[in-house]
Amino acid sequence: MQPRGCKGSVQPALLAFCLMGLLFGHSPTHAERAATQYLQPQTQQPTVSRDVSLMSTRVVFSIVLDNNIDNSTDNNTTSAEKAIDQAINEFRRIEAVMSEWQPDSEVSRINRNAGGDAVEISFELFRLLQAARQISTLSDGAFDISFRSAGKLWDFRKATVPEPDQVQQAIQHIDYRRLELSAPAMDSEVSEQGELPKARISHAETSIGLGAIAKGYAVDRAAQLFRQAGFDAFSINAGGDLYVAGRKDENLWKVGIQHPRERDKLMANLPASNLAVATSGDYERFFIHNGQRYSHIINPHTGYPASDCQSVTIIAERAFWADALATAVFVLGPSKGLALVETMNGVETLIVDDQGEVVMSSGFQGTR
Ligand code: ADP
Ligand code: MG
């Protein structure tokens, strides 16, 4: 993980704020989220942009045209539009594989067979599930895709707090180690025997959801498609998860991180290039009951919404990694979360703790 252009570059700033969406993994009836991150292009060059609802999130794709690639801006525009079409299809394809809400997805198939036989899955999902497991191990189970049994108890529309014994019961079903993954002997797209990897959940009442990682993964895939199409200056902003690419040594984008309690304020404004930024906060999806705020990130050890942070921003090379780590650090809280990030090369964090105090990793601190 090697973010460029971020170390030593954060300055507190107040900027006007625009709305972006975030959220993956909720039923389509769910209202779209407002934004946690604001992108400012630092260029006058023509840009092709599209704003579209994907994975229950407002996603904005922007490609900056480079007039040197081709003398005709028209041609560039057409190929940028095409690349954006491909990225949109890719988001939809990933959702169809990874959503826990679509009954035909691979993830739903794994969940339906919990306690039963292993099911065949794609290499793509296999690799993402392996990464999820790695983050669970690193975070000592703070990140756990089997959070769902407890997650289900918290209905944000009804805004009710479940009974303590229900929560107690639910956490018995959470354990990322219950997801068994097996790969065919050769880890290639198709093994010699044409075999696929397999996944099995060992306990019938345990189920998985990729709401904290799949959207980041889709952002990474879109970035890959843009590069393959020959573009090297673009942004993909999926609300809480974004990726920005800029030409070398050019601070093409500025990423603003929303203040968790004041909608119109930004916590930080950082020039960014060729890196991912993800923010998890308690201010988009939450309810308040008896003065206590309950948000959508669940501490798998307690079954209650994590409450040691107001927001966590992670900078990393890949968006799926930033996405999942933001959730992990949100659960771990400022001190353990910061300690985890400091062990990782090329990963930086900005944490707002439960009192509104800002804590930053060493790469951020240099500049304050
Ligand atoms: P958002 O979905 O708002 O972008 P996150 O990336 O932080 O925010 O992911 C939160 C989502 O992840 C929840 O809505 C839920 O689907 C899932 N989730 C909640 N708690 C955990 C957890 N401890 N580990 C893994 N996934 C979680
Ligand atoms: Mg996340």
Ligand 1 contact via 151 beta carbon (within 6 Å): yes
CA–CA separation, 183 and 37 (whole Å): 37
Give the closest residue (by CA) to ligand 1 atom 15.
211
Distance (angstroms) between ligand 1 centre and the Cα of 24 equals 8
pLDDT of residue 29: 28
**pLDDT tier for residue 27 given thresholds of 50, 70 and 90:** very low
Query: What are the backbone angles phi and psi of residue 75, rounded to the nearest 5°?
Result: -60, -45
- Count of beta carbons in the 10 Å neighbourhood of residue 118: 16
Ligand 1 contact via 35 beta carbon (within 6 Å): no
Atom of ligand 1 nearest to the CA of 280: 7
Query: What are the backbone angles phi and psi of residue 56, rounded to the nearest 5°?
Result: 55, 30
**pLDDT tier for residue 44 given thresholds of 50, 70 and 90:** confident
- 286-289/275-281 β-pairing: unpaired
DSSP letter at 108 equals H
Structural Rg of the chain based on CA atoms: 20
If you average pLDDT over residues 130-140, what whole number do you get? 98
Ligand 1 contact via 154 beta carbon (within 6 Å): no
The string of pLDDT tens digits covering residues 290-333 is: 899 999 999 999 999 999 999 999 999 999 999 999 999 999 99
**pLDDT tier for residue 179 given thresholds of 50, 70 and 90:** very high
Ligand whose nearest atom lies closest to the CA of 34: 1
- 241-245/253-258 β-pairing: unpaired
Kindly list the distances between the CA atom of residue 241 and the CA atoms of 197, 265, 320, in Å, as whole numbers in the listed order.
28, 19, 8
Ligand 1 contact via 298 beta carbon (within 6 Å): yes
Atom of ligand 1 nearest to the CA of 211: 16
- CATH number for the region 1-368 comes to 3.10.520.10
Ligand 1 contact via 281 beta carbon (within 6 Å): no
The string of pLDDT tens digits covering residues 204-231 is: 999 999 999 999 999 999 999 999 999 9
The string of pLDDT tens digits covering residues 5-26 is: 233 223 222 222 222 222 222 2
**pLDDT tier for residue 238 given thresholds of 50, 70 and 90:** very high
pLDDT of residue 41: 75
pTM of the model: 0.89
pLDDT of residue 190: 57
Domain boundaries, the chain: 1-368
